[in-house]
C-alpha cells in the first residue's frame, strides 16, 4: 500500500513540476511577444516622425523659398528620350494606323 501511495505522490509531483515549467515557458513567451510589440510600436512611431519631417521639408512652398535663396540655378529634371526600335509584331496582332491613333 505504501509503495503505491509513494508512487502516486511522486507522479503528482512530476506532473506539477511539468505544469509549472510549461506555465513558465508560456509567461516568458508572452513577455518576449510584448517586448517585440513594444519595439515595433517604437519603430512605427519613428517612421511616422520621419514621414512627417519629410513632408514638412518637401512642402512645395518651402522648396520655392529654398530655391529663391539658393545661388545655383536649378534645371528641371526630364526623362531622356526613348530611342525608337523596330520591334517585330507577331502574326495575328492588329496594328493601328497613325490616323486611328490621332496623329
Segment 66-95, tens digit of pLDDT: 888 887 887 777 888 777 777 677 777 777
Predicted pLDDT of residue 95: 72
Q: How far apart are the first and last CA of the chain?
A: 105
Can you give 3-71 as a three-state secondary structure string? Answer: HHHHHHHHHHHHHHHHHHHHHHHHHHHHHHHHHHHHHHHHHHHHHHHHHHHHHHHCCHHHHHHHHHHCC
Predicted pLDDT of residue 102: 65
pLDDT per position in the chain (103 positions), as tens?
Answer: 889 999 999 999 999 999 999 999 999 999 999 999 999 999 999 999 999 999 998 898 988 888 888 878 877 778 887 777 776 777 777 777 767 766 5
What cell numbers appear for 3 in the block? Answer: 509503495
Predicted pLDDT of residue 74: 77
- Give the global pTM: 0.51
Predicted pLDDT of residue 54: 93
What cell numbers appear for 7 in the block? Answer: 508512487
Residue 74 · residue 67 · CB < 8 Å: yes
Buried b (16+ CB within 10 A) or exposed e, 6-40: eeeeeeeeeeeeeeeeeeeeeeeeeeeeeeeeeee
Amino acid at each position: 500500500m505504501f509503495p503505491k501511495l509513494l508512487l502516486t505522490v511522486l507522479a503528482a509531483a512530476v506532473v506539477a513540476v511539468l505544469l509549472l515549467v510549461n506555465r513558465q515557458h508560456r509567461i516568458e513567451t508572452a513577455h518576449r511577444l510584448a517586448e517585440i510589440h513594444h519595439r515595433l510600436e517604437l519603430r512605427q512611431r519613428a517612421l511616422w516622425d520621419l514621414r512627417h519631417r519629410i513632408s514638412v521639408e518637401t512642402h512645395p512652398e518651402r522648396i520655392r523659398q529654398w530655391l529663391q535663396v539658393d545661388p545655383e540655378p536649378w534645371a528641371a529634371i526630364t526623362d531622356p528620350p526613348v530611342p525608337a526600335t523596330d520591334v517585330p509584331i507577331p502574326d495575328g496582332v492588329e496594328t493601328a494606323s497613325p490616323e486611328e491613333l490621332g496623329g
